[in-house]
Amino acid sequence: MLRFYIALAAAKSAYLAIKLLKHSGGTSFAGMVALKICPDFLKYCNKYVKSSKYTVTGTNGKTTTAGMLAHILEQDGEKVIHNVKGANMLTGIANVFALSIPKKFDCAVLESDEAYLTKLYDYISADFLIVTNLFRDQLDRYGELATTAGLIQSAIDKTNGLLLFLNADDPLVANMGKEKEAFYYGFEEVEYMLKNHKTSTAPSEVFACACGEKLQYSKQFFAQEGHYYCPKCDYKRPDPDCKGYAQIYDDYTILKVEFKGQSYYFILNTVGLYNAYNALGAITCALVTGVEYEVIKTAVKNYKSIFGRTERKIINGHNTLIQLIKNPTGASEVLKTVDLKSNILIAINDNYADGRDVSWLWDADFEQLKDTSNPIVVSGIRAKDMAVRLKYAGVPTDKIKVIENLKQAVEFVTNSDKMERNVTILPTYTALLSLNKMKF
């Protein structure tokens, strides 16, 4: 216990030092110090959470789903500890506890990297887990989807009393609920009400049933998400406990949710079907755990995306939309929503946190950008790779501009006397971190 308090004091001092020196955003360093001094640091943190601990994992949508759930719980009067900036490895989670203790909280909402979930459960006694989806992501770190699914499944299997909230539309995720108590969520109908709806041509994963037969779809929303079944045996998508019906507009979504014979209506101020899935996961968890409908409705409507997840900013006078891209499925869904009349900046890094392997650029549907009105600026460590990808996507070479320095690239796309022109920035994770530190 003494080591815990020493670690806590050292972590707080380390955070103060890096803030004074302006060396980083301080999302993980203090946690790294705490865990170095006291490897069991997170185990001692359990006592600072009075009741429920919610965890969220999956390839895409963790930060938005966890953020929306935390916002709902706060609107319900709960004091919530939450790794709001998306630092989701053990160091990031330890960081938020180290900077918050000795304050106590009613509940915790912890986003966890898929590979670290089983390690997190060694220390944190979680009550609930939302699994969003499983798409190919950072193959240099995790390998293929079966590997990622196995990591999450091992965390589930080792944790007693864990209540699951699973995406029924994802065959890999839905399969995780066989031996545990689980609630399922999924979409029955999706209507696109966009001014210029675009259909993605990105490749989808092919999944086989346990019997070896390829899964078929009666409805397929994107990637492997949809209503699947095996033509050979009885395996099929589980009937969701929370059924979603979405109308997707350019700037918002109208969502109807059916739960226990009742219909609930929500307005989401986020774009795209992928964000509707995130909201449906958070809403399902809130409804099942007893949060009142009016509280959820208000919280969902006034929830504001953070840190590059459909984040809206004013940069140099321009309305700017920032959307993180990091794998082919997620990027393809984001690309469907891009305003082709905006000034577009794509920033690609290949640091460890991004994934060293950028071959995913060739599976993402950048063909969506071939009819853009204005030049596309590419930036970051792998700017030239991105330029080549855009050329093969059909973007004219005279509309591709390489500015490797991110600060200069942002200044370029926002340096227009046409103030009515919007700006779209699509960064990978570490480019997003750099962008977030910039002053405009």
Annotated catalytic residues are 357
Report the alpha-carbon distance of residue 59 to residue 114 in Å, rounded.
7
Q: What is the CA radius of gyration of the chain?
A: 22
Closest CA to 391 of 409, 406, 376: 376
Residue 226 CB partners (closer than 8 Å, separation 6+): 169, 217, 218, 219, 220, 237
- The sign of the CA dihedral 118, 124, 127, 132 is negative
| Residue indicated by tokens 């095996």 | 230
Q: Report whether 276 contacts 300 (CB < 8 A).
A: no
Across the beta sheet with 53-57, the strand order is: 80-82, 107-111, 53-57, 128-131, 163-167, 182-192, 242-248, 253-259, 262-268
Report the DSSP pairing between strands 343-347 and 318-323: unpaired
Residue pair 345/424 in contact by the 8 Å Cβ criterion:
yes
Q: For the chain, first and last CA: distance in Å? A: 45
How far are the Cα atoms of 6, 22, 77, 108, 124 from residue 26, in angstroms, in the given order? Answer: 19, 9, 28, 20, 22
User: Could you give the angle at which helices 406-413 and 429-437 cross, rounded to 10 degrees?
Assistant: 70
Whole-number Å distance between alpha carbons of 345 and 191: 29
Q: What is residue 248's three-state secondary structure? A: strand
DSSP state of 47: G
Q: What gap in Å lies between CA 130 and CA 147, rounded to an integer? A: 19
Please answer whether residues 344 and 369 qualify as being in contact, where contact means their C-beta atoms are separated by less than 8 angstroms.
yes
Return the SS3 of 208: strand
Amino acid at 17: A
Is the CB of residue 206 less than 8 Å from the CB of residue 332? Answer: no
Whole-angstrom CA distances from 35 to 50, 92, 98, 123, 283 are: 22, 10, 10, 12, 33
Between CA 104 and CA 80 the distance in angstroms is: 9
